[in-house]
Amino acid sequence: MKHPFYLMGLFFLLLGCQQELSFETQTYNQKSALLCNESCPEASLTIPVAKGKAVVADSINKKVFWVLKELIYFGEKPYTSKDYNELLKAFIGSYEKLKTEFPKDEFGWEAKIEGTIKYQSDRILNLEINHYTYTGGAHGYQGLRSLLFDPKTGKSIATKQLFKDEKAFKAFAEKRFRSKYRIPENHAINTTTFMFEGDQFQLPLNIFYSDKGILLYYNRYEIASYADGPQELFIPYEDLKDYLLLK
């Protein structure tokens, strides 16, 4: 008589496990052998893929894939690839097409993407995308992308949703930024080497969460030259009590 109840309990236990959001690291790779010997163009990708809650996982995975399509492409617009294998294959295909047209030229193409779960709580999920691409020129482009999600819905979280008052936090962050980079309060923000648009301080496109605080991260070219590299400002949680809404 106990068996039906036992099986029913096991069923609901397994069902509950399937409904929990989890991640599985997946790796993809494409390499060209066209007219090259040792340093053949290669595209590699390591990314956490959401599993469990179907609707939530699908929302997260679609957003991540959409972002990677913005990062891995050659030409005027992103590829129309439907999955990661197609995306990397399209990138290598662009190289091979160019190499076929100009066989004597040297093209050391490369694309390397590594995604990790930077931070996760009941209210926020932060994925970091470390990307590097090179399709010719003096140097490639390396950067970090921060993707913020609501772990309950899988929907993206915008910067304005992180703070009680975004304008107040921006003013607070500017004071911290000026202090770190020694920019006097009575001087324009671009007085030193920075290149904020309109000579007005702006929050970065990428904000990362950690166990100790948040990191305001400006990629190359965002507010400074390539030579100056990325710029960043770390603010501990204890200093964010009046500003931070989600943690």
The string of pLDDT tens digits covering residues 212-247 is: 999 999 999 999 998 899 999 999 999 999 999 988
**Whether the predicted pLDDT of 211 surpasses 90:** yes
Name the band, by pLDDT with cuts 50, 70 and 90, for residue 17: very low
Domain that holds residue 163: 159-239
Write down the pTM of the prediction: 0.88
Q: 199 with 134, same domain?
A: no
Residue where a domain stops, chosen among 124, 149, 174 = 149
Positive or negative: CA dihedral 49, 55, 204, 233: negative
Q: Same domain for 96 and 179?
A: no
In this structure, the answer to whether residues 62 and 136 fall within a common structural domain is yes
Interval 56-96: pLDDT, tens: 999 999 999 999 999 999 988 899 999 999 999 999 999 99
Q: Is 181 inside a domain boundary?
A: yes
- 45, part of any domain: yes
